[in-house]
Amino acid sequence: MNKNKLKEFIKEIPKSDIHVHLDGSLRVSTLIDLAKDSKLKLPSYTEEGLYEKVFKDNYKDLPDYLQGFGYSISVMQTPENIERIAYEFVQDNIKEGVYYVEVRFAPQFHINEKMEMNDVIGAVSKGMDKAKKEHNSSNLVKAGKLPTFEYGIIACAMRAIPAGVSSYFDKFTEVHKHSSHTRISALASYELVLSMIKARDKGYPVVGFDLAGAEAGHPAVEHREAYALAHRNFFKKTVHAGEAFGAESIFQAITELYADRIGHGYYLFSEDMIKSKQIKDKKDFINRLVHANKPEYW
């Protein structure tokens, strides 16, 4: 099969996407539209300009890549905007032949005076439902020529809650005056799972719990209580691990957080870590796995 035919074949076959971030999947044209509407500052108001300055082909590191999310999150602060983004997201997936999606996002980034946690999940669900119903009642689906569309929601907690990005996280930090930043992040994760239980009770298709954000220096094990709560409440569990830190991060996600699925996992093999100079040799690799849960190894 030649390259073009293979591309065509991949485009045609029905697919599922189980690792996709809603706030990383906005149409750039929609981002510009919504930013103009809400008078938000963007480094450029053209698609070309944003591809050059923000959504680049290559990034310096994970934090550099994550910067783009700041802009998308800033336009996702009303139920109407979130609903539109979620609606278009499903349309774009169907266009690419993706018929089952587990969409993920961090609801806490979108909480403000107008929306509490479950309003955010509700707005995403409403937008996705609308596009889903339109597709599933189309003639092509009814005639059996296209598969039906379905989706689930994964709520992401943050390894370390950032400052100055969300009023919710800022307030959360302010009221926990006597706790460390690590502990505050863990408490915010626990709070998220509590709200997920309520969202699921309301009928929203919340299927899983995830941990995302800057990995190095922020061991997932600190979020153990939130994962235990998710586990006891029959949520599926996933962890962004081995993305910007070593294999011990993956080890910890599985042994301490009951992860059913790992996100990214680039550093699964010690050889990759040796090449990237994260570890000296295989002995060092084993040593770090054995001590994976000790804070000084992070």
Residues of span 190-219 touching Zn ion by CB under 5 A: none
Residue 243 among the catalytic residues: yes
Report whether 121 contacts 205 (CB < 8 A).
Answer: no
- Of the candidates 102, 243, 248, 256, the residue annotated as catalytic is 243
Q: Tell me whether residue 66 or residue 197 sits nearer to Zn ion (CB atom).
A: 66
Phi, psi of 160 (to 5 degrees): -140, 115
Query: Which amino acid is it at 173?
Result: T
Number of H helices, E strands in the chain: 13, 6
Q: Tell me whether residue 226 or residue 262 sits nearer to Zn ion (CB atom).
A: 262
Report whether 205 contacts 152 (CB < 8 A).
Answer: yes
Kindly state the smallest distance separating residue 171's Cβ from Zn ion, in Å.
26
Report whether 122 contacts 204 (CB < 8 A).
Answer: yes
Q: Tell me whether residue 147 or residue 265 sits nearer to Zn ion (CB atom).
A: 265
Give the C-alpha distances (Å, rounded to integers) separating 275 from 130, 167, 246: 47, 40, 12
For the chain, the C-alpha Rg in angstroms (whole number) is: 20
Binding pattern for the stretch 229-268 against Zn ion, x by CB under 5 A and - elsewhere: ----------------------------------x-----
Kindly state the smallest distance separating residue 16's Cβ from Zn ion, in Å.
16
- Residue entry with tokens 């961090």: 106
Report whether 50 contacts 133 (CB < 8 A).
Answer: no
Q: Which two tokens stand for residue 257?
A: 């957080």
# of chain residues touching Zn ion (CB under 5 A): 1
Kindly state the smallest distance separating residue 260's Cβ from Zn ion, in Å.
15
Kindly state the smallest distance separating residue 240's Cβ from Zn ion, in Å.
5
Q: Tell me whether residue 115 or residue 154 sits nearer to Zn ion (CB atom).
A: 154
Collapse the DSSP code of 102 into the 3-class scheme (helix H, G, I; strand E, B; otherwise coil) and give the result. Answer: strand
What is 280-295 written as a DSSP string? Answer: SSHHHHHHHHHTTT-G
Q: Tell me whether residue 78 or residue 185 sits nearer to Zn ion (CB atom).
A: 185
Q: Tell me whether residue 162 or residue 263 sits nearer to Zn ion (CB atom).
A: 263
Quick one: residue 275, left, alpha or beta (phi over 0 = left, psi -120 to 50 = alpha)?
alpha
Collapse the DSSP code of 151 into the 3-class scheme (helix H, G, I; strand E, B; otherwise coil) and give the result. Answer: strand
Q: What residues line the site for Zn ion (CB under 5 A)?
A: 263
- Annotated active-site positions, please? 243
